[in-house]
Each structure stands twice: as C-alpha cells, then as structure tokens.
Chains A and B, each alone.
Chain A
C-alpha cells in the first residue's frame, strides 16, 4: 500500500491528468489482453512440443539402450581394447545441419542430419581386423544418434518456449496486479478530488448568492 500512496502523491488532480490516465489505463488493458492471448498461444505450443518430446524421448532411449547392449556384446566378442581401437580409427565427421526457425517470435534451432547411418566401408575402421558385431554396434549407435539429434531439437525448442512463457507470464502479472490497479487508484483519486472541488464550488456559490441577497 505504501507504493500506492507514493503513486498517488505524484498525481495532480486536474482534468487533463484524468484524461491522460484514462488513456493509459486503456492502453495497459489492451497490452494486458494481447499478452494474455500470446501466453495462451504459447501454452498450446508448449504442450504440443511436450507431447512430441515424450514420444521422441521414449524412442531415443529405447534405441540407446539397444546400442549399449550391442556395444557390450561387441566388447565381449572382439575385446575391449580392439573395440576402443576401432572407435579411434572410425571416421568421425558427422555434420549436423542447424538452422533457426521462428515460432511466435522465439528463435528455436532446427537440427537436421543428412545421413547418420553409414555403410561398413564408410565407417573407416579396418574391416579385416574387426568383427561383424562391431558393425552391428556402430549401426545401432548411428540410429541412436539420429534419434537423439531430433530429440535435442525438440528439447531445445521446449526450453526456449518455456523461457518465453515465463517472461510473458511475468509481464502479464505485472500489468494485472501492479500497473493497472495503481492506475485505477490514481484515476479514482482524481475523480473523487474533482467531485469534491465541484461540491466546494457549489456551496461557495450558494453562500455568495445568500450574501448578495442579504445585502439588497
């Protein structure tokens, strides 16, 4: 309430000020409505993304656990050191295409990968010192990586939207609970003050009239 009193202290009770305040309240109200709409739209978008994240995550995790299993099979059959060696020999030049996209003014990245799954020859490790289980493990990991890249895109979008949502919510609340009530209070103060002045004037006139009548 202290802030309210402070806000009232600076307003001068004039008709000009009253008109200005009325305009400001209207503007604030319009801004508030717009932001509210934006927030609702963001929430819808957010839930859509969440639903997709749920599905993508389940798929990626399943594939990843398959990949880990294939890798342990590989280490068991081929030997840990050989597997490690092969991983060092493997060609490692996966490129992810990243561009940005705008969802309601929010920048979200889109990740795309041309071809994650490679043929055994493209992988770069020596084929006659390695076993086919290594190919299997590599393939599973490539698949998992592909799914994880998609998941990363979704999660990042989700995070960006959540951030924006939080910001919008804070602005809506600031307007709704602080700015608009404060303006309305000032508005009320001025109109009360003006009414009061009018009543004062009225009695003053009455009194003057009575005095004039008494003189004649």
Chain B
C-alpha cells in the first residue's frame, strides 16, 4: 500500500519538504490549529508518515505524547530537528530505553 507524507513545521521546514514532494505541509502558527490538524492526520487512512519538528512537538507538550500512544499503527510519526538544528536534551527514545532496560545506555553511532 502506498501512503502520503505530511509535514508539520515552521515555514522553512514546510517549504523545504514541499519542494521534496511531501503531499501535505502544515505551517505551525497556533497551537490549537496544529492540534486539530494533527488529529485529522492521525485519523486519516491515506497518510503513512508524519514529520514534526522537535520544537513544535515540545510546544504541544504532554497531550502530543498521549496522541502518539493512542494512535493506530499508521501513520508513523517522526520528530525531526528544525532549521536551527534544535534537538531536545531529553531524547524520548533514550527515555524509553531507560524505562524498559532500567539503565542508561549510550549507543555510539558507528562510522565507517
């Protein structure tokens, strides 16, 4: 099955991914609007991947996390850094490891 790609981000992120061919881009301005849009995207059947910038994900807060936990298998939601290269200090994936394995594990990226 083929699915479309959606992006939620600031103007530049949206522009860039629109150029790359993402079917739907949402420029984040107001929290409520983004929430509504995100809910709609998660409920729709034809979107398979939603990219959202870390900054917006953080702004949406705990409710966003709740949305992620209750969503179906698709669409897959991936958080990406925005143009400032912003990465949050608390990486949710490493939080997950800490919770499941019970210890902090640092995985080095293997280069070459």
List residues of A whose CB falls within 8 A of some B CB.
43, 46-47, 50-51, 53-55, 57-58, 60-61, 64-65, 67-68, 71-72, 75, 83-84, 86-88, 90-100, 107, 109, 111, 116, 118, 123, 125, 134, 137-138, 141-142, 144-145, 148-149, 151-153, 155-156, 158-159, 162, 165-166, 169
Contacts and interface: CB of A to CB of B under 8 A. Distances in A.
Contact of A152 (B2, B12, B78): B78
B93 A144 contact: no
Contacts of B4: 93-96
Chain B interface helix/strand/loop/mixed:
mixed
Contacts of B78: 148, 151-152, 155-156
Contact of A98 (B16, B48, B109): B48
Given A84-B15, A99-B1, A148-B80, A162 B97 contact: yes
Contacts, number: 154
B51 interface: yes
Please tell me the size bucket of the interface on B.
Answer: 35 or more
Nearest to B14: A87
A96 B93 contact: no
A87 B19 contact: yes
Chain A interface helix/strand/loop/mixed:
helix
